[in-house]
């Protein structure tokens, strides 16, 4: 499975007024994560994805529609909670249908502790093994290493 969680997190950060431009990689998503600290999921959106995709349009619309009803902290937390639970539920479902016992989590969003910890908890509670990168960066650095490895094979 692949995702574009970073762009979704960037959009939520902009909607919540946290960041309108990026001066370094991951800045809006990092600001969103920091803002969510101590927040609660106030929206409880349905996180059962219609595979093969996770629907983010409704989540974005709901965040925007609730700006005056909930704190920015809670909305930031709600968005990340939705993504984490949706990704975990999708991965669990695909693993169960495929007979896979281990789920790996990588990419830039794996640096987001709120999302990574939530996914880890859901996957391990389902009885599956959860793995993440240990020696290789989970984001673009890992992609670069993989590209260098493949180039060395030629």
Q: pLDDT digit string (tens) for 59-78?
A: 999 999 999 999 999 999 99
103: alpha, beta or left, given left = phi > 0 and alpha = psi -120 to 50? beta
Contact 32, 73 (CB under 8 A): no
Question: What is the predicted pLDDT for the residue at 28?
Answer: 87
DSSP strands (E only) in 16-148: 102-105, 129-132
- Tell me which architecture the domain covering 5-153 has in CATH: 2-Layer Sandwich (3.30)
Does 3 have pLDDT greater than 60? no
Does 24 have pLDDT greater than 80? no
Does 154 have pLDDT greater than 90? no
53: alpha, beta or left, given left = phi > 0 and alpha = psi -120 to 50? beta
The CA distance from 141 to 54, in Å, is 25
Question: What is the predicted pLDDT for the residue at 145?
Answer: 78
Tell me the mean pLDDT in the region 27-56: 84
Domain spans in the chain, listed from the N-terminal domain onward: 5-153
Say how many CA atoms lie within 13 Å of 43 toward its Cβ.
29
């Amino acid at each position: 499975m692949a995702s574009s969680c970073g762009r979704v997190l960037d959009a939520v950060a902009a909607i919540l007024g946290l960041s309108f431009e990026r001066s370094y990689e991951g800045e809006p998503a990092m600001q969103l994560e920091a803002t969510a600290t101590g927040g609660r999921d106030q929206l409880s959106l349905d996180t059962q994805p219609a595979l093969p995709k996770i629907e983010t349009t409704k989540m974005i619309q709901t965040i925007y529609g609730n700006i005056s009803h909930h704190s920015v902290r809670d909305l930031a937390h709600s968005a990340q909670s939705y993504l984490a639970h949706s990704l975990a539920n999708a991965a669990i479902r695909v693993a169960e249908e495929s007979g896979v016992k281990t789920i790996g989590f990588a990419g830039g969003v794996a640096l987001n502790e709120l999302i990574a910890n939530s996914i880890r908890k859901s996957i391990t509670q389902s009885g599956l093994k959860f793995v993440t990168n240990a020696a290789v960066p989970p984001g673009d650095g890992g992609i670069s290493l993989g590209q260098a490895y493949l180039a060395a094979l030629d």
